[in-house]
Amino acid sequence: MIESEALAERIAQIASARKAIDIRVLDLRGVVSYTDFLVVCSGNTERQAKAIHDAVHQELKDQEGLLPRRAEGAREARWILLDYLDCVLHVFTPEAREYYRLDNLWGEAPARSVS
């Protein structure tokens, strides 16, 4: 089983390879008990957000044998969530990310940008 920090890094790398923008990894260890990391990123369009989702889902399944415990939003592709328990991925369109401002909600959590 891949450890949570390595999983967050792997998810961020896959998203980056699919040209995700504004990738942030938030370390929630010690802040909440239900997950260790959030990876938040955006796709320029709904189609790109779906492609990021598809790539993360497929690569983690094929390379790590991991399937998300829960997945939501892939049909609409404005805000997609993949919950791997220790790490949760949020893929937004820019408009949805601005509206929900999830990054600001966790302002006290240590965070880093990934390019």
* E strand or H helix at 106: none
Strands 21-27 and 111-114: antiparallel
Residue 50 is predicted with a pLDDT of 97
The answer to whether residue 111 scores a pLDDT higher than 70 is yes
**Model pLDDT for residues 66-78, shown as the tens digit of each residue:** 999 999 999 999 9
Phi, psi of 11 (to 5 degrees): -60, -45
Of 64, 19, 14, the C-alpha closest to 44 is: 19
Cβ contacts of 42 within 8 Å, gap of 6 or more: 20, 21, 22, 49, 91, 92, 93, 94, 97
Residue 110 is predicted with a pLDDT of 83
Residue 109 is predicted with a pLDDT of 85
Say if residues 84 and 69 touch (Cβ distance below 8 Å).
yes
The domain 4-114 having CATH identifier 3.30.460.10: the answer here is yes
Band (1; pLDDT cuts 50, 70, 90):
low
Cβ contacts of 25 within 8 Å, gap of 6 or more: 8, 9, 12, 37, 38, 39, 111, 112, 114
